[in-house]
Structure 1
């Protein structure tokens, strides 16, 4: 029996490899001006999403292009709410122009990690995106605080795992400051993904198998050789009775 899996990818972040990536994924997270992205790059990604029937997601972040949104900001909740809403307003305005619907929202970088474990910040983020709750999925880490809170608020969530990132045994991601944060060997990425998909677990850098369930599996579009890795992964899926959703 062939199973379909959702592979998502962060795009519109200035790398310019989207024309290669979109045929290899089933959902995307489009930068909308916080850490990267502009009206033009959003529109480019939306056109490709439509062409390749890829589910469309917004990828809001801390307003921090200097650090690519990968540093936690000391910002007031009011200001953060305003920045998130502005990013989503830009994104949905362009979606409406192309008569396309937003499928999901996924916070980016440091914001993603912060709302996963900080209750106050998770509540601020969910309040900022409240207008989209009825018709939009929220991509969140498995077992995270925001997953728990969002579920209690009747959000539709999809639990996410990272196919190209290493984990600790507590399911936290290995810091990007560490050399082994990213998995760049194609075979290692494949093995990492297949273990998640088939066994619902991940092998941590402490060499432990830890239970994890995911509805969607992320690849970072800005990773060196991301297109090569995804080309290899998608070519190997049929060997495991898997295909893109």
Structure 2
């Protein structure tokens, strides 16, 4: 039977401001990418999401980012390697405190936003992220785009690299994500997202922005928590996968 993990970005609030419906999404996904305070999230939010995830058996992942609360971690930044390594380890360590207090642990690491996009092609920044993971916990898998410098660096360092795909993002013919600033970068039609999810999970293919079909090998499927109607969309995706014979379970 085909198996796929469903991950979502959660805990993306700060203080009184809340962006994601964490409690409802945690009833659908199998892995939670928890914001660690650099692009979103704060101590109270991290603790709450870890408690909710642990209670539901959802795996907790550290979603590490450039230090950019104002830009939600989606602005390009140039951070020296040593500084980035320390900041990645710092974020993982902060989340681990709350995960362990909830009776769980951090199970994997995934970069967010501009950092995620940067380590697709930037070998130096990818190595810095991997060094941060090694500094925090050398047993942690790293979630990233197939063919990225990040997963290449993780493999060289002896870390498990886990490939992921995005049903609600447009792809180029080279298997990369279309930048968010470009028209059509985000797929908003719910039925299209559901169909693309099934295609990725069952057939390992997706249609690019130009209409070409390409192979995308992924063990995890990302559902963005900040998409309008994210909870209902996530439920529809999971239901379609399971009724089509795809088993939905965490990759770790």
Q: Secondary structure at the match of 2:27?
A: helix
Give the distance between the partners of 1:50 and 1:79, measured in 2 at CA.
Answer: 31
Aligned to 2:47: 43
5+ unaligned residues in a row in structure 2: which ranges? 14-18
Question: 2:53, 2:60 within 8 Å by CA — same for their partners in 1?
Answer: yes
Aligned to 1:152: 156
Aligned to 2:247: 243
Give the distance between the partners of 2:243 and 2:131, measured in 1 at CA.
Answer: 43
Q: Deviations over 1:143-197 (max 9, x none)?
A: 1122122112211111011121111111121111123111222210011111112
Aligned to 1:5: 4
Give the distance between the partners of 1:134 and 1:85, measured in 2 at CA.
Answer: 11
Per-residue deviation, 1:16: 4.0
Give the distance between the partners of 1:224 and 1:211, measured in 2 at CA.
Answer: 28
The equivalent position to 1:103 in structure 2, one of 98, 101, 107, is: 107
Q: Deviations over 1:189-239 (max 9, x none)?
A: 011111112221211001111111001000111111111211211222233
Per-residue deviation, 1:132: 4.3
Distance 1:199 1:241, change over 3 A: same
With normalisation by structure 2, the TM-score equals 0.92
Aligned to 2:94: 90
Question: 1:4, 1:242 within 8 Å by CA — same for their partners in 2?
Answer: yes
5+ unaligned residues in a row in structure 1: which ranges? none
Over aligned residue pairs, what C-alpha RMSD do you find? 1.5
Per-residue deviation, 1:243: 3.3
Give the distance between the partners of 1:198 and 1:16, measured in 2 at CA.
Answer: 28
Structure 1 residue 69 corresponds to structure 2 residue 66: no
With normalisation by structure 1, the TM-score equals 0.94
Runs of 4+ in 1 over 3 A off after TM superposition: none
Aligned positions, number: 244
Question: 1:234, 1:243 within 8 Å by CA — same for their partners in 2?
Answer: no
Question: 1:138, 1:158 within 8 Å by CA — same for their partners in 2?
Answer: yes
Structure 1 residue 205 corresponds to structure 2 residue 204: no
Question: 2:206, 2:214 within 8 Å by CA — same for their partners in 1?
Answer: yes
Distance 1:148 1:79, change over 3 A: closer
Give the distance between the partners of 1:88 and 1:150, measured in 2 at CA.
Answer: 16
Distance 1:124 1:238, change over 3 A: closer
